[in-house]
Amino acid sequence: MRVLDSHLHVWDPELLTYTWLDGPYDRRFAEAELERDPLVAERVECVFVQAETISDDFLGEVRWVESLAERRGVVGIVAGAQLHRGIDTATHLEELGTHPLVVGVRHNLQGDQDGLAMSSAFVTGAREVATRGWSFDVCVRADQLPDIARLAGAIPELRMVLDHLGKPEVGTADAPLAPTVEWVRDIEELAKHPEVFCKLSGLPAEAGGRWSREQLTPFLDAVADAFGVERLLWGSDWPVSAIGPAEDDDPHAPDDGSATYQATARQRWLDAVVAWADERGHDVDALLWGNARRAYRLDDQRPADTVRRGFLGRLFGK
């Protein structure tokens, strides 16, 4: 079984600045920690997704991940970007275009004000992403999904990858929640746009690390019905989705029962998605490999000098 993990993070607070890390997240999760991850597959590659450094470190994060890429199987980078900053956005995308591993960007919208994704400045920046042939990773709350559907309608050529199924409320294994009518409606509306893909990722984190396959199956079924299997791709969301109650055999479990790193979480999520796909008769190789390569155009990456045609080039005739 070959695996392309479409949503992997690494971070190191000693190298880069993050304002959101706290509790069990506030430590290094990088090359050494990933090397100890027990994911079992014949071949494992990954797409790194920006880990929400401060914006001044977006380019530094790309350079750092590039230094790890060959050893850790990183075949693409989804870089951090702020798409609503006009000429600053243009300059940043131009610089990203000099890094051949960059296959997309993510402006993390989940903490932004409603409506930003449809502002004229944001739409202009998103159009530039589309012009470069890059993807736009969409990290939003469930109630922001209608804005993303409108953005897809405004820029139909923009290939978007929805992270974490749009972050629906899923409850926990002991207190599961069913998909809401509103979330299903908004997912179906977004899926009408053929350039939008959906990652099977992040649900363990939405459950606080207390999840079961039975609990999450209705959400997987809903996105399969909406997008079709050909637009779904598996992602681990490591290590964000590897934090929760200590596993039974963890010799380092906190005495107070607080959340901690779950060493087998990435493998368990992979196993859950594979078991679901097998039961439904879905194409496992497409979910774990082929669809991600298509979504991020990994088979037709171009050298850096052929993609440096951003705002600046058009504005100044270069």
3-state secondary structure the chain: CEEEEEEECCECCCCCCECCCCHHHCCCECHHHHHCCCCCCCEEEEEEECCCECHHHHHHHHHHHHHHHHHHCEEEEEEECCCCCCHHHHHHHHHHCCCCCEEEEECCCCCCCCCHHHCHHHHHHHHHHHHCCCEEEECCCHHHHHHHHHHHHHCCCCEEEEHHHHCCCCECCCCECCCCHHHHHHHHHHHCCCCEEEEECCHHHHCCCCCCHHHHHHHHHHHHHHHCHHHEEECCCECHHHEECCCCCCCCCCCCCCCEECCCHHHHHHHHHHHHHHHHCCCHHHHHHHHHHHHCCHHHCCCHHHCCCCHHHHHCCC
Q: Mean pLDDT of residues grouped by 10 in the chain (318 residues)?
A: 97 98 97 89 92 98 97 97 97 98 98 94 98 98 98 98 98 98 98 98 98 98 98 98 95 93 97 98 98 95 42 36
40 in Cβ contact with 274 (< 8 Å): no
Q: Which are the contacts of 113, defined by CB distance < 8 A and separation ≥ 6?
A: none
Domain ranges, residue 251: 2-315
Query: Partners of 135 in the beta sheet?
Result: 104, 159
Angle CA 104–108–113, to nearest 5 = 140
The whole-number pLDDT of residue 41 equals: 78
What pLDDT is stored for residue 42 in this prediction? 79
- Residues written for the chain: 318
Domain count across the chain: 1
Give the integer Cα–Cα distance in Å for 78 and 297: 12
Return all residues near 96 (Cβ < 8 A) that are at least 6 apart.
Answer: 59, 62, 79, 81, 102, 105
Residue with tokens 């736009």: 136
Please state the pTM of the whole predicted model: 0.94
For residue 60, what are the CA distances in angstroms to 31, 55, 57, 279? 16, 10, 5, 43
Q: What CATH number should be reported for the domain holding residue 267?
A: 3.20.20.140
| Cα(55)–Cα(107) distance, integer angstroms | 10
How high is the pLDDT of residue 33?
A: 93
